[in-house]
Amino acid sequence: MAALLYTLIFMAGGVAIVRAQLPGKSPLVRGYLGAALGVLLEMQLPALCAYALDFTLAAHAAALALLAALVLLSHRLRDRRALRAMREDDGRMLVTMTVIVLPLTALSAYLQYTHMLMPASDGSYWCGQSTYGDLCMHLSFITSMQDMAFPPSYNLLYDTPLHYPYLADSLSTTMLMLGMNIQMAVIFPGTLLMALTYCGYMLLARQVLGNRHKAVAVAALLFFFNGGLGFLYDFDMAGKDNFEKIREIFTGYYKTPANQPELNLRFSNVIADLMIPQRALLGGWAMGIPALMLLLSSARERSMRQTVILSLWASCLPMVHTHTFLALGLFSGGFLLGRLIQDREDRRGVIKRAAVYLFIVLALALPQVLGNAVKQTIEGGSLRFQFNWVNNSGGRGMIDGYLWFWVKNVGLPFILMALAMLEARRRGYLDVALGMTLLFIVAETILFQPNEYDNNKLFYIWYMFVAILAADYGSILMRRIAGLRGRYVLCALFMIVSTLSGALSIARETVSGYQLFSAHAVEAGAWIEENTDRDAVFLTGQQHINPVCSLAGRQIICGSDLYVFFHGLDYRAHADNCRNFYENPELYAHVIDDYGVDYIYVSDYERAEFDVDLDYIDEHYDLVYQNPDVRIYAAGEEGT
């Protein structure tokens, strides 16, 4: 209850700030921007206060005081124009949004429940296909940040600062500290952020398309049910194998039409493979879409007030999701170039607002980026040139023909988008076209992470506008063939072909289920949380399913290379020391002192990963906890 009330207070504060600053916006936009701003402040302000008070309840109380101060300051500096009332077109948009957003939010809540530590009757925790890999990492950040001194540390690698964008996870930490159990602390913010993303995307589409509500709905369906033409590979000659490929979509591990690397299908469905498992990306989209909306409206309404709000908002993004911040910056560059071409009467105004935007963002965001993303990217050796993304994996040459790669991955909307770009100036969205073009060029040529696939986090911001332009051009075609019998059949076929791969991928997630933590692992995690200090250091294996760091939030020496490698960290020495101790604890007893280890954790995973000398550990260290799968030893003092 306290966690829900805390969130509602912040959202109400956000609504009050937007109401004071942007009274000319429609009630729908004011309500949405206010709710999103409230959640953004709920992420930012406790973390900011934590630098003085640690991430404690005191920091959260101080954040409420800061929120009150911001509301009062916003009221003092308010825009004194009349508040815009609800109009007929707003009502139609509300109906359209309700039809799309409510079912998607209900689906999201179900997927969050089944994918985020769903409890089983035997006490184990389960997840879905898409969260099997990432969830444990996010849990480790969520559980470890309780009462942590800031800047936060990385509990998956000893003596390492947390350079990962953590604010979406710290939002769950807030929920956990305010009384929610671990499952709800993950599910509630996840569902809220997904709902904000659905609402925001439809309002962004409306900004570009105007009050053509059918086109807005089509854009939303094309974006959220994306998946390209991958279904053709599953349906082709399906009768020959007794429809086994189709059945495998719902039973196999990553056999969905939108995500089959062996077939070079890499443009995964945004709900199934991005918004559900990738919490930083989800936070980035929920907070990045409002920034895109403010970018468009500040330029088109020639508003310095909106430019300043945009600048402050954008400056909050690096530690929510760095890729979204980068995508916003790239899109802004092309967009502002388009404004200079498109808005000749106000070129001086465009330059002036762009200068203010750039100055504020550089002043506030650059220290965050240099201390985190740039440090990890440059020092980790991740920044490199590679043309054509994963179609030229490792720079070893193209797998598919260039255009066919994009057509089969993005689907028919890619073709409509290409045609729409030819009409961009006449249709009044040259600025949007240039923004998405610059974003595409950079994502297509420069890699920023060790995992080349991670550039999709830039491409999907590009695809947000692809879907909007495709919907616009599709509406043009429908008007041109007015009176043609069968035009609605053609429209239906286009939508089926464009969304079937995505729909099948989402359907697969609704029936997927994998045990993540066994009942014994859950019991061990609960014991650790209740009986050890929050700053205790544990020696464990490198398994990614690790209750020590994920459920109890304790510091371990070296986590899974599934995480630490792709975060660009040098972990080999730590990993070797862990192995050396488990396999020869007598010779490598100094490892305990070197890392200040408090507890030694031995489970089925450690016994499978290492040739554990359990006899020596049993003889020389005190056993403080055990169940059929897990043994925990105190490492501070040796036994007799």
206/213 Cα distance (integer angstroms): 8
**626 three-class SS:** strand
Work out the mean pLDDT of the chain and round it to a whole number: 95
Mean pLDDT along residues 117-133:
97
533/554 Cα distance (integer angstroms): 8
44 close to 36: Cβ distance less than 8 angstroms? no
Amino acid (1-letter code) at residue 167: L
With cut-offs at 50, 70 and 90, classify the pLDDT of residue 370: confident
173/196 Cα distance (integer angstroms): 20
With cut-offs at 50, 70 and 90, classify the pLDDT of residue 380: low
604/541 Cα distance (integer angstroms): 10
More confident site: 241 or 324: 324
- Relative to beta strand 118-119, strand 446-447 is unpaired
Q: Which of 358, 352, 351, 357 is nearest to 337 (CA)?
A: 351
466 close to 362: Cβ distance less than 8 angstroms? no
Alpha-carbon Rg for the chain, nearest whole angstrom, is 26
pLDDT more than 70, % of the chain? 98
Mean pLDDT along residues 100-126:
98
Is the pLDDT score of 125 beyond 50?
Answer: yes
Those residues whose C-beta lies under 8 Å from the C-beta of residue 9, and which sit 6 or more positions away, are 64, 67
pLDDT confidence of residue 454: 92
Amino acid (1-letter code) at residue 51: Y
Angle at 291 between CA 287 and CA 296, to 5 degrees: 150
pLDDT confidence of residue 376: 57
Q: What is the pLDDT of residues 26-60, one digit of tens each?
A: 999 999 999 999 999 999 999 999 999 999 999 99
Cα–chain center distance at 292: 16
171 close to 63: Cβ distance less than 8 angstroms? no
Is the pLDDT score of 231 beyond 90?
Answer: yes
- Relative to beta strand 599-602, strand 631-638 is antiparallel
As given in the structure block, the two tokens for residue 165 are 């964008």
Is the pLDDT score of 178 beyond 90?
Answer: yes
Is the pLDDT score of 639 beyond 60?
Answer: no
Angle at 266 between CA 262 and CA 270, to 5 degrees: 140
More confident site: 377 or 633: 633
Domain boundaries, the chain: 518-638
383/392 Cα distance (integer angstroms): 16
470/591 Cα distance (integer angstroms): 59
Is the pLDDT score of 618 beyond 60?
Answer: yes
DSSP per-residue string spanning 363-397: HHHHHHHHHTHHHHHHHTT--EE-TTGGGGGGGS-
With cut-offs at 50, 70 and 90, classify the pLDDT of residue 1: confident
As given in the structure block, the two tokens for residue 105 are 């939010």
With cut-offs at 50, 70 and 90, classify the pLDDT of residue 640: very low
626/585 Cα distance (integer angstroms): 20
With cut-offs at 50, 70 and 90, classify the pLDDT of residue 374: low
Mean pLDDT along residues 433-450:
95
With cut-offs at 50, 70 and 90, classify the pLDDT of residue 378: low
**542 three-class SS:** coil
More confident site: 380 or 382: 382
Q: What is the pLDDT of residues 557-592, one digit of tens each?
A: 999 999 999 888 999 999 999 999 999 999 999 999
601/542 Cα distance (integer angstroms): 11
Amino acid (1-letter code) at residue 255: K
